[in-house]
Amino acid sequence: MSKATLKTIAEYTGLSVTTVSRALKDGDDVKQPTKDKVKAAATKLGYRPNLSGVGLRTGINYNICAILPVTKAGDIVGDVGTLSLIAGLTAGLDGTPFHLTVLPLEPDQDPLEPVKYAVENNLAGGIIFNLTLTQDERVTYLHEQGIPFVTFGQTEMSIEHAYVDIDNYDIGYRAASYLYDKGCKRIRLLSSSQIYTYAWHKYYGVKRASMEHGIQFSKDRDIIFDTNVDNYREYARKMMESDDAPDGVICGSEISACGMIAGIQDAGKKIGEDVQVIAVETCDLPSFFTPPVPGLRQDFHSVGKMLSRYIVQCVEGADPKELQYVEKTTLYPR
């Protein structure tokens, strides 16, 4: 008698391979009668787990590759949300036969390079990547190669693909509205490069709020691109000492907020009086600033779980057009 596999149990019970795997691992999304049925079949068939062999027998590569950027050498603090994202990616695969591998996207590296490396070396049955561009060649390449993928972020391409995203339009709109409701008239937006789709979404949100409040907001005058800033503290000090100092600032991360607040205070200005600050955050760090500043919280753990769930469905043949999700942030007023 040949050795029992997940596929054998699936055929015996009439269930999918993924359902069988989740049942054997007591997955919360599998009903108890199904678990009992699968475990009884596994015992009868003499099943012993061997996940490395499952891929060979089913023709499925059960490795999921997440390609994530790493910080530059010498950076003191990186992206504080990355660990939460990876934890979410791992949690999303719990109860499935899939495993997670993280490949680094090095600073200044062509974003397509690690994607090609993963595909050409057969490292993954599905790929997850972030920092999407409006026209992203990684999407084109994976689509042409027939490799299942999910992006953390949207594109503006005609190719329909699976994605999970934070609602950056809503972030821009709510952050700017918050500052305007505090009486601000001259706000600045700290933004990533507008090669990224989410940077445009955030700008459009700020622009809408500005129009609703009857205030001019200029992309050329009022956006501070992080590619133009070497030291946020020094930049903020000079900005606040200028004749055109803002009275409201939207910071794109906890790290940029930390530097901006220090520079504002170096210029002798008071947060909450001379200038209002709101941050986009991934953790509770802004509550420890002096003074604490309000933040719009991105739940990267939740995003990671959804990315993993979507990539599993993509590998199993789901329609990518049905796997598109945008999550809103939560305001912490402080």
> Domain holding 21: CATH number?
1.10.260.40
For 42, the domain range is 6-49
Structural domains counted in the chain: 3
Are 179 and 232 in a shared domain? yes
Are 186 and 237 in a shared domain? yes
The whole-number pLDDT of residue 56 equals 45
The pair of structure tokens assigned to 324 is: 């598109």
Half-sphere exposure of 169 (CA within 13 A, CB side): 8
The whole-number pLDDT of residue 78 equals 56
User: Is residue 57 situated within a structural domain?
Assistant: no
Instruction: Identify the helix (H) or strand (E) that includes residue 71.
Output: none
User: Is residue 334 situated within a structural domain?
Assistant: no
Are 172 and 293 in a shared domain? yes
**39 vs 293: CA distance, rounded Å:** 52
User: Is residue 54 situated within a structural domain?
Assistant: no
Are 157 and 174 in a shared domain? no
The whole-number pLDDT of residue 55 equals 53
CA dihedral 294, 296, 301, 303 (to 10 degrees): 180
Are 180 and 284 in a shared domain? yes
Are 125 and 181 in a shared domain? no
Are 205 and 130 in a shared domain? no
The pair of structure tokens assigned to 64 is: 């999921």
Half-sphere exposure of 51 (CA within 13 A, CB side): 14
Q: What is the CATH number of the domain that holds 290?
A: 3.40.50.2300
pTM for the full model?
0.81
Are 216 and 145 in a shared domain? no
Are 70 and 153 in a shared domain? yes
**40 vs 246: CA distance, rounded Å:** 68
**163 vs 128: CA distance, rounded Å:** 9
User: Is residue 58 situated within a structural domain?
Assistant: no
The whole-number pLDDT of residue 25 equals 81
pLDDT by residue for the chain (334 residues), tens only, comes to: 567 888 889 999 999 988 988 898 888 889 999 999 999 998 888 886 655 555 544 567 889 999 999 876 555 555 677 899 999 999 999 988 999 999 999 988 999 999 999 999 989 999 999 999 999 999 999 999 999 999 999 999 999 999 999 999 999 999 999 999 999 999 999 999 989 999 999 999 999 999 999 999 999 999 999 989 989 999 999 999 999 999 999 999 999 999 999 999 999 999 999 999 999 999 999 999 999 999 999 999 999 999 999 999 999 999 999 999 999 999 999 8
> Across-strand partners of 163?
151, 324
The whole-number pLDDT of residue 7 equals 87
Are 197 and 273 in a shared domain? yes
